[in-house]
Amino acid sequence: TVKIFLYPVRDYRATLILRGDDLWGDLIDTDPQKIGVVPLEIRPTNPRSKKTAKIVSDFISQVRIILANEKPANMLLLRGFDKYTPFKSIKERYSLKALAIAEYPMYKGMAKLLGMEIAQNISGLDSQIEALKKNYDKYDFFFFHIKKTDSFGEDGDFDAKVKEIEKVDAMIPEIVELNPDVLVVTSDHSTPALLKYHSWHPIPVVIKSIYARKDSVTKFDEISCANGILGLRPMTDLMPITLACANRLEKYGA
């Protein structure tokens, strides 16, 4: 028996969960990522996922019938299939007690998967700052996520994206006043308004710490930061560097 759960998230997003035996996530997305194109058919990319593909395909067929006369959304697009595998918590991996201060549900879920606690009643930047100040002495790591810059980029609204970045920029001094040992400002990806989707472009990173070496860069943008002391590097390097700047790495072989 396979149980199927569909949970609304926010805006146009939902989460589909399948629970049962012998289920795998090797499936292509049904989302063609283009407007005016019919959804793709579910197909396994590994023979072990044939059963899962059949179940999802049958589910989608029923969804198509149920939503046929609905407006404006009359179909469900699926992407990002995977099989749940427990992660080591951020406490286990880095010995950090972490709090996620995020507004968008998807990032709360991601943080929960990593063992972070979740700040409640978050709605807008002001409430995020308030939550940070309220909990500042209770945790030693804060995941402070801002979604709207990405959303405006996907909408192709350059001016709105600039205004949102300016709001965030004006908020930074309030965080600096808390005197964190390490402050990192960065992004998970680039979403240029010109392209209206996630892109391959490098993202800027700035680290503030008494142990972080200074460079000659005075602007926070993709090109300037690429010429700084951190240069262009895989983002998997960022957490070890952050821990090092907090003086929380143990010596090895020395």
Q: Spell out the domain ranges in the chain.
A: 3-66, 86-142, 146-254
pTM of the model: 0.87
| pLDDT recorded at residue 34 | 86
| pLDDT recorded at residue 11 | 87
CB proximity list for 247: less than 8 A, separation 6 or greater: 181, 211
User: Cα–Cα distance between 188 and 101 in angstroms, integer?
Assistant: 16
Query: Tokens 């209770």 correspond to what residue?
Result: 138
Q: What contacts 24+ positions apart, CB below 8 Å, involve 46-51?
A: 48/22, 48/24, 49/24, 49/25, 51/22, 51/23
Residues of the chain with pLDDT below 50 are none
Superfamily of domain 146-254 in CATH is Alkaline Phosphatase, subunit A (3.40.720.10)
| pLDDT recorded at residue 253 | 78
Residues in the chain: 254
| pLDDT recorded at residue 254 | 66
| pLDDT recorded at residue 251 | 79
| pLDDT recorded at residue 46 | 97
Query: Tokens 């002391």 correspond to what residue?
Result: 229
| pLDDT recorded at residue 148 | 93
User: Cα–Cα distance between 234 and 108 in angstroms, integer?
Assistant: 24
User: Cα–Cα distance between 156 and 151 in angstroms, integer?
Assistant: 9
| pLDDT recorded at residue 138 | 98
Tokens of residue 123, six digits: 């709605």
| pLDDT recorded at residue 248 | 93
| pLDDT recorded at residue 252 | 78
Question: SS3 for 10?
Answer: strand
| E strand or H helix that includes residue 15 | strand 13-19
User: Cα–Cα distance between 187 and 177 in angstroms, integer?
Assistant: 22
Please give the sequence-ordered ranges of beta strands (E in DSSP) within 41-164, or none if there are none.
Answer: 98-101, 117-118, 141-144
